[in-house]
Amino acid sequence: MSEQQQNQNQNQNKKKDKPVKASAEPEIMEKIVSLCKQRGFVFQSSEIYGGLKSCYDYGPLGAELKRNVKAEWWRTMVHGREDVVGLDASIIMHPDVWRASGHLAGFSDPMVDCKDCKNRGRADKWPQTAVGTEVEYKVIVDHQSGKKETRKAAVGPLGIVCPVCGSPNMSDIRKFNLMFRTSLGSIDPIETISARLDGKALSGEALKTAIADAIGETAVYLRPETAQAMFTNFLNVQTSMRMKPPFGIAQQGKSFRNEITVEHFTFRSCEFEQMEMEYFVPPPEYTSPGERTDMQWYEYWCNERLNWYSSLGIRKEKLRLRPHETDELAHYAKACSDVEYDYPWGWGELEGIAHRGDYDLKQHEKHSGKKLTFFDSQKNAHYHPYVIEPAAGADRTALAFLLDAYVEEPPPPGTNEGRTVLRFHPRLAPIKVAVFPLVKKDGMPEAARKIVEQFYKHQINAAYDEKDTVGRRYRRQDECGTPYCITVDGQTAQDGSVTIRERDSMKQDRIQIADAVEVVRKRLA
């Protein structure tokens, strides 16, 4: 999210289909959150201490899912191409990076409070209503009994109403910097402040300035995006890897934003992982005839990124590319589109693809004093490449894959037991194969153990389960999204064969034990 985009947030949301509701999550989200806990996908952070708002821990299956999402992204964006290389930069960067990028001055959300129910949130995400419209809303008049009174009022100049109680009575908007600040070095800023201010009778702005100056001396920030390291390392990567535009630098890693409103489970939290790539292309005057132009590269990446989600199983009708309108764009951006997913609460961003021009390299050149250009030997000229940036979030993507995979199947005719299935693409599934003995006798557990050991040996994530009936074991694996289950049964001892059951169709084939690893490996490819 750029500085300019932040400043223009208020206009932006008018263009999105539905305002985000702060009311209770749709029922499906409650089911997903509960399944995530039961099956070990996602837990509330520090749960035994009552949890910490907006902080989540990925459990054993969630850790696998997120790793698989990131691995697929890396495979597609880096390993599958000649023109993109990877980077793993530090989270804490020189504070001047954030001055140059504009995050220190402008990375702030418009914070607003509802004067009636005291709900706090982002003005740009609250329901938009025409100024002057008379709206009805409910106010609690007796907190003991919860008794509410209906009132009427006109929508004020901000043109928003509270998403919780519907009131148009808003505080003024305050800007709130989203970067987490900490300090680097062995001097505790509290010591500096107390030494400097000891005996001084400062108050108001003077006091604030003195404290800010003292903190500022050692202040560093947790990065709010991974992108800046690709710009600051542009020359290091370009020269060490002898890259020539068009080429990209890709990175995955944690980012931190002190979001005013954290919402929808892992969709918006304060600590999250990003998967970003900066693709440097020649500006129009340096593009050779027959090569893609900068705008064609932008369109190329919009399509590539949209298709990536559907290639891993997200239903096409749940995905769309939403081009930003002109007044949503940062002043330097030539174009921007969001890949959006139809979440249970409405369309929301999965990934942004921006054509950032040459803004970032020029900003860092200005602030660092180091030339950040590419020398085109054929044209004998130095130029600042343009940048196309596909910026995705690993947590949002994992959540979208979870939501899209979730299916409640009714009982088949003649039975009374339906099932809940996570229809993950096999490459995203946390557990690839589960191995069962049909019953716990006649040498079946021993034979099943031997099979699962083969999967471990070949580093294919597998599970062994012998508890409960085989039907219940299948259901358990369906809920985890395991694409294949192998069962040792009475016939195994006679001919060395086992059944392999496919999760979605529930179809079973017989295969030889000796072929089991190869069969599963082929199906995962």
- Chain contacts with ligand ATP (rule: CB under 6 A): 1, 225, 257, 259, 268-269, 272, 274, 349-352, 391-393, 395-396
487 neighbors 438 (Cβ within 8 angstroms): yes
**Residue 377 vs residues 292, 293, 384: alpha-carbon distances, Å:** 19, 19, 14
Smallest distance, ligand ATP to C-beta of residue 210, A: 32
User: How would DSSP label each residue in 17-83?
Assistant: SSPPP-SPPPHHHHHHHHHHHHTTSEEETTGGGT--TT-EEE-HHHHHHHHHHHHHHHIIIIIT-SS
Name which of 126 and 374 has its Cβ closer to ligand ATP. Answer: 126
Helix then strand then coil, % of the chain, to nearest 5: 35, 30, 35
The angle, 0 to 180 degrees and rounded to 10, between the axes of the packed helices 444-457 and 516-524 is 50
Smallest distance, ligand ATP to C-beta of residue 249, A: 16
Smallest distance, ligand ATP to C-beta of residue 275, A: 8
Smallest distance, ligand ATP to C-beta of residue 6, A: 8
Name which of 271 and 466 has its Cβ closer to ligand ATP. Answer: 271
Name which of 259 and 502 has its Cβ closer to ligand ATP. Answer: 259
Contacts of 89 (CB under 8 A, 6+ apart): 226, 229, 230, 232, 233, 251, 253
Smallest distance, ligand ATP to C-beta of residue 259, A: 5
Name which of 276 and 294 has its Cβ closer to ligand ATP. Answer: 276
Name which of 29 and 214 has its Cβ closer to ligand ATP. Answer: 29
Name which of 232 and 397 has its Cβ closer to ligand ATP. Answer: 397
Smallest distance, ligand ATP to C-beta of residue 227, A: 9
Q: How many CA atoms lie within 13 A of 248 on its CB side?
A: 25
Smallest distance, ligand ATP to C-beta of residue 223, A: 12
Q: What is the DSSP letter of 441?
A: -
**Residue 20 vs residues 31, 118, 325, 431: alpha-carbon distances, Å:** 20, 18, 19, 34
Name which of 388 and 392 has its Cβ closer to ligand ATP. Answer: 392
For strand 84-87 and strand 247-256, is the pairing parallel, antiparallel, or unpaired?
A: parallel
Smallest distance, ligand ATP to C-beta of residue 428, A: 17
Name which of 165 and 339 has its Cβ closer to ligand ATP. Answer: 339
Q: Tokens 């096999």 sit at which residue?
A: 426
Name which of 123 and 462 has its Cβ closer to ligand ATP. Answer: 123
Q: Which residue is nearest to ligand ATP (CB)?
A: 393
Q: Tokens 């790539």 sit at which residue?
A: 277
The stretches of 203-263 forming alpha helices (DSSP H) are 204-216, 227-232, 234-240
Name which of 277 and 435 has its Cβ closer to ligand ATP. Answer: 277
Smallest distance, ligand ATP to C-beta of residue 410, A: 33
Smallest distance, ligand ATP to C-beta of residue 324, A: 10
* β-pair partners for 112: 121
450 neighbors 493 (Cβ within 8 angstroms): no
Q: How many CA atoms lie within 13 A of 293 on its CB side?
A: 6
Q: Tokens 């693709």 sit at which residue?
A: 279
* Number of alpha helices (DSSP H) and beta strands (DSSP E) in the chain: 17, 25
CA distance 154 to 161: 10
Name which of 312 and 480 has its Cβ closer to ligand ATP. Answer: 312
Smallest distance, ligand ATP to C-beta of residue 35, A: 20
Question: Quick one: which of 484, 489, 481 has its CA closest to 508?
Answer: 484
